[in-house]
Amino acid sequence: MLLAFAAIAAGLVLLVWSSDKFVDGAVGLAESSGISKAMIGLTIVAIGTSAPEIVVSIMSALAESPALAFGNAVGSNIANIGLVLGVTAVIAALPVKPGLMKEDLPALLAVTAAAGFMLYDLTLTRNDGFAMFAILVALMLLMIRYKKEHADELIAPEDVAAIPDISLKASIFWFILGLAVLVGASRLLVWGAIEVAQALGVSEIVIGLTIVAVGTSLPELAASVASALRRHHDIALGNIVGSNIFNLIAVLPAAAVIYPIQLEQHEFQRDYGSMVLITLLLTAFILWPRKNRMLSRVEGSILLLCYAGYLAMLYVDTVKV
């Protein structure tokens, strides 16, 4: 048991480190290919931040534990809104950018509905996984087209400046090393999670919804809190919404195409239902008419309470079992 928890802790630390190096290497390779920094920020960096969840999902499916992948994806979405945005908004109110309401938020609602439609029969098949990947490609193309037509919303100058300049040799080195450690750390994390689930007598999906989901959301939490403390938090909402979109149409299907995901009726209602409710609550907060659109401290506190309530519900369900 102690070894399993150590494996989870080590896996999470290595995931954070390796995903950063993997993204750095990928960015360097893209720059060497002549892709602009703005486009790199929109695509590679955006997808790369979900790399830990995607690789954990793949490793879970290969270990024939797809429920862990479902818990990771859905649990991360709930934690991103309830925990990450809740804590960040309590520290400093988060402004809402126009592009978020025009593009990102509708996309999140659409993919949430699509995921629910495919999970309604309690099975996410390989065909469902491929269909969700097709949605991912279509959304990426639409996003790139929209951003090109609205260049002022493409990516902030300070974010472009933050994208590192890396030599081709260094890019190849960090890309390969980052990917290798990412895979190894994910296998370590998945092994530890399965061992803990078996030792505690709880379902793998609960471990995915809690330990794994919160662990893979910690980088977003740390980055969002640090940005809020420095008053550079104007993109926090967009980053979380984007991460949640990728969790549903990249992380979930990454597992399903390898090993179909089977759910119990109460798991679908409890976990997918909770994700839908907290997503709709965030939507209401964002669209609420006011002079300055932002996620306030009071609304952040409400999101935090909702997340605490969800964890309490998981605990009660686990004790019942």
Residues 250 and 52 sit within 8 Å (Cβ to Cβ):
no
Q: Could you tell me which residue, 17 or 223, shows the higher pLDDT?
A: 17
Q: How many structural domains comprise the chain? A: 1
SS3 content of the chain, % helix, strand, coil (to 5): 80, 0, 15
Q: For residues 164 and 49, give the distance between their C-alpha atoms in angstroms, rounded to a whole number.
A: 15
Q: Among 210-219, 244-253, 255-264, 300-309, whose mean pLDDT is lowest?
A: 210-219
Q: Considering only CA atoms, which of 296, 217, 46 is closest in space to residue 147?
A: 46
Domain membership of residue 239 as a residue range = 2-320
Dump pLDDT digits (tens) for 46-99.
Answer: 566 677 888 888 888 998 888 899 999 999 999 999 999 999 899 888 888 777
Single pTM value for the model: 0.84
Residue 219: give its domain's CATH number: 1.20.1420.30
Distance of CA 145 to CAs 27, 31, 97, 149, Å?
Answer: 21, 20, 18, 6
Total residue count of the chain as it appears in this document: 321
Q: For residues 5 and 194, give the distance between their C-alpha atoms in angstroms, rounded to a whole number.
A: 10
Strands 294-295 and 261-262: unpaired
Q: Among 138-152, 182-196, 285-299, whose mean pLDDT is lowest?
A: 138-152
Beta-strand runs (E) in the chain: 94-95, 123-124, 261-262, 294-295
The whole-number pLDDT of residue 211 equals: 85
- Residue 257 is classified by DSSP as T
Q: For residues 23 and 175, give the distance between their C-alpha atoms in angstroms, rounded to a whole number.
A: 7
